[in-house]
């Protein structure tokens, strides 16, 4: 076949496809292409040493489970964990205001509670404030050196998001880019989209096109369905406690196009202390990361165990929590007044 003439529908021969693949293998062999390492060894080991460029990652969770903290941790640590990779960051952050977003970043840098940073109970001390000023100066210097992190706050349709990704990819130097979308539900509906589910299908199609065209890693946050809060799902010590692919909002749309699908579960927020058929003890700091889809890579484990560190706005990898000793069959009931329990710290109830 004539290689000089563009073929209808973008067709390529089998040999051409193999040639492209062999170049990719050689580039990885020579270290010219690497995956993006994440802050968690379990994810890096389950994938190809991290998230491959050209991947779509979907992260689902119920409110207050920690999905915003999770993605912020990835972005905050991305440069430190991948010092030999040159990339930019584009965030679609439709939900959080500038002040709240920045306060969380500063809280993570100075290892202080969000409420302390905002002087809710006592005035923030001068030393901590100076640390924040230094962090701002460092960010400004990094921008001068070409380390760019851009945030779009205006809700956009799927079509406009595609234009924005291409625009900033070119404006920021045409280098690999991490793209994050903070909430699939908040993407603006187009005039011809009557239902939100149609919007989600259009988002998925758009993101698949983008990851094929550009060297990007796209991470999209979405909700788990409300059925996770049904009484039948909250019966202690049952498989129903665990999220599945059908719990992802608009599951078919995002599942089919995603290379990696994760579900974040924080059982404490659902009053579940005996979690799953393995009967894991779930305290307020325990987070269970379920691997629902792993297109590339392999692992015998489908749960990654994490603990929240609210002061640094991060999640720390840990081993499995202790197992609840079974004495009699349990049924779920509202927790009720916490008269004999230690009250949660002030930061537990904050939106994650």
Q: CB–CB of 331/235 below 8 Å?
A: yes
Structure tokens at 100: 């709240």
Beta-bridge partner residues of 288: 265, 305
β-strands 314-317, 286-294: how paired?
unpaired
Q: Taking the model in full, what pTM does it have?
A: 0.81
Domain 53-317: CATH superfamily is: P-loop containing nucleotide triphosphate hydrolases (3.40.50.300)
Q: Could you state, in order of their start, the residue ranges of all structural domains in the chain?
A: 53-317
Q: Which residues contact 316 (CB under 8 A, 6 or more apart)?
A: 306, 307, 308, 309
Structure tokens at 179: 């793209």
Tens of each residue's pLDDT in the chain, 352 residues: 555 567 888 899 999 999 999 999 999 999 999 999 999 999 999 999 999 999 999 999 988 888 888 998 999 899 999 999 999 999 998 767 778 888 888 887 777 888 888 898 889 998 888 888 888 887 887 777 766 889 998 888 889 999 999 999 999 999 999 999 986 655 666 767 667 677 788 888 999 999 999 999 999 988 888 899 999 999 999 999 999 988 987 667 788 889 999 999 999 999 999 999 999 999 999 999 999 999 877 667 799 999 998 777 889 999 999 999 876 555 555 554 434 344 444 443 444 4
Beta-bridge partner residues of 286: 307
DSSP assignment letter at 324: P
CA separation for the pair 198, 209 (Å, rounded):
17
Q: CB–CB of 184/198 below 8 Å?
A: no
Q: Which residues contact 83 (CB under 8 A, 6 or more apart)?
A: none
């Amino acid at each position: 076949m004539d290689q000089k003439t563009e073929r209808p529908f973008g067709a390529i021969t089998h040999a051409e496809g193999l040639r492209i693949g062999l170049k990719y293998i050689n580039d990885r062999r020579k270290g010219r292409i690497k995956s993006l390492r994440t802050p968690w060894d379990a994810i890096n080991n389950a994938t190809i040493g991290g998230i491959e460029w050209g991947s779509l990652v979907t992260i689902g969770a119920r409110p207050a489970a920690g999905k915003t903290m999770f993605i912020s941790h990835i972005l905050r640590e991305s440069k430190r964990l991948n010092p030999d990779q040159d990339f930019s960051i584009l965030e679609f952050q439709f939900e959080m205001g500038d002040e709240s977003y920045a306060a969380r970043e500063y809280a993570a840098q100075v290892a202080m509670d969000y409420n302390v940073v905002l002087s809710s109970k006592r005035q923030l001390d001068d030393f901590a404030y100076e640390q924040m000023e230094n962090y701002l100066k460092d960010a400004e210097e990094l921008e001068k050196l070409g380390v760019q992190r851009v945030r779009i706050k205006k809700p956009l349709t799927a079509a406009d998001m595609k234009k924005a990704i291409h625009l900033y990819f070119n404006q920021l130097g045409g280098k690999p880019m991490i793209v994050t979308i903070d909430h699939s539900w908040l993407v603006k509906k187009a005039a011809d989209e009557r239902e939100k589910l149609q919007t989600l299908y259009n988002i998925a199609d758009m993101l698949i096109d983008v990851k094929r065209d550009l060297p990007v890693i796209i991470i999209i946050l979405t909700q788990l369905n409300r059925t996770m809060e049904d009484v039948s799902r909250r019966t202690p010590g049952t498989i129903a406690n665990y999220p599945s692919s059908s719990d992802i909002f608009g599951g078919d749309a995002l599942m089919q196009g995603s290379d990696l699908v994760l579900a974040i579960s924080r059982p404490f927020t659902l009053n579940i202390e005996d979690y799953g058929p393995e009967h894991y003890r779930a305290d307020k700091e325990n987070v269970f990361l379920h691997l629902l889809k792993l297109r590339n890579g392999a692992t015998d484990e489908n749960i990654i165990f994490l603990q929240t560190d609210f002061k640094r706005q991060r999640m720390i990898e840990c081993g499995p929590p202790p197992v609840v000793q079974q004495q009699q069959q349990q049924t779920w009931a509202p927790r009720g007044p916490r008269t004999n329990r230690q009250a949660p710290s002030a930061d537990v109830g904050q939106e994650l």
